[in-house]
Structure 1
């Protein structure tokens, strides 16, 4: 960590207020972008997807639970894996308790992965998660919404991740998709985001962004190399005290 300038409280407030101007600009730009997002055109979902859920087969419409909006977390968990992706789990830890708050604003949330339901349920219990999580292992949902690619697509360089703007680094990748259900029961795809577009949905990262060290990922093999499943972190080493009493 670089050596920081030490100043008086008065000088610090001047510097902090200067930064605040930039923060306000960012907030206003984000609000404008959110308005543009809400104005995107929609695509009707005509394919009758069936998912495996704890109570049996469910449709995409069932996942709305009577609400008009649905946020789907594409959690990376391939059928042959024993656990979900550690990075997707990092996100899932953050949104697990959001469901009641989203429901209060007419929005349901669900995780969807290709692994069989038994594996999803076992991992969900291990992590202590409560959100709805269903298996898309018997349908094309993951492929249609750009988070899973066939071996042929990968070999031919035809995998289109993040709308073709980000080279895929595997055949199973993360994303978020949003859907709307009207009074007739018709479902529409309204939005999807991938790669760095997922960043703002991780509250832990944004808390780290407030700190002097930030995300502290410089020099790692890849940014999230440090991330572990929540129950796999080792206790932090005890730091030697700089003071003697």
Structure 2
């Protein structure tokens, strides 16, 4: 994005423009609060299916993923059988999980990544990325299909595949998403929310920083510039201060 010819004004003119924009920011914040309240008020669906997962100590049920918490956030991480590394976009988002988890783990929320590949196939990649969050496999069960992140091959061929609640022409075997669940005092589990595609933007803190800068996200296609965090070229530019 070319910002070289951007208008330059006096401090007084800038302040007037900034205050006008502040009114819009406040309106957006209020609308976001209203939307969040509407999301929390959505009806729930009781989970009766016996989903099973593979973790570091063997088989797990959906209830096990909650730990001691009543709320569970599952990130559907794109990693299919035979892949050597995870999706770059999913990795970009997942770089933000451990930081949030330092707080969410103490506020009745479990965050778990789920992928379709066998558990052992993504352990080396997880270690390479340095992630600590729980990440399990849904191999052998319908979880990824039921929650809309693995289109059925026959439905794709027939043009009936659904992603993000609408028909899609995508033939990708893995797609990203997030699903939320609640467990009540009786141990019953309910699906409360799922989101996909741009609905995942809110989880990518780096985008919020970019949105504050003159060049913004500066991308022609979503996440086209993103790399796995250990694959960027050049020196580390994370700090302006360097030890001598």
Q: Per the alignment, do residues 237 and 36 of structure 1 end up closer, same or farther by CA in structure 2, a change over 3 Å counting?
A: closer
Q: Distance in 1 between matches of 2:230 and 2:236?
A: 17
Q: Distance in 2 between matches of 1:133 and 1:75?
A: 9
Q: What's the secondary structure of 2:149's corresponding residue?
A: coil
Is 2:79 the counterpart of 1:77?
yes
Q: Per the alignment, do residues 35 and 237 of structure 1 end up closer, same or farther by CA in structure 2, a change over 3 Å counting?
A: closer
- RMSD over aligned CA atoms reads 1.6
Paired residues in the alignment total: 235
Q: Per the alignment, do residues 27 and 167 of structure 1 end up closer, same or farther by CA in structure 2, a change over 3 Å counting?
A: farther
- List, as ranges, runs of 4+ consecutive aligned residues in structure 1 with deviation greater than 6 Å: none
Q: Distance in 1 between matches of 2:146 and 2:63?
A: 17
List alignment gaps of at least 5 residues for structure 2: 238-244
Is 2:227 the counterpart of 1:225?
no
What's the CA shift string for 1:23-76, capped at 9, x where partnerless?
101000000000000000000111111100011111111110111000000000
Normalising by structure 2, report the TM-score. Answer: 0.92
Partner of residue 98, structure 1? 100
Q: Distance in 2 between matches of 1:4 and 1:225?
A: 25
Q: Equivalent of 1:143, from 131, 145, 154?
A: 145
List alignment gaps of at least 5 residues for structure 1: 239-245
Q: Alpha-carbon deviation of 1:83?
A: 0.8
User: Quick check: which one's helix share is greater?
Assistant: 1
Q: Per the alignment, do residues 37 and 165 of structure 1 end up closer, same or farther by CA in structure 2, a change over 3 Å counting?
A: farther
Normalising by structure 1, report the TM-score. Answer: 0.92
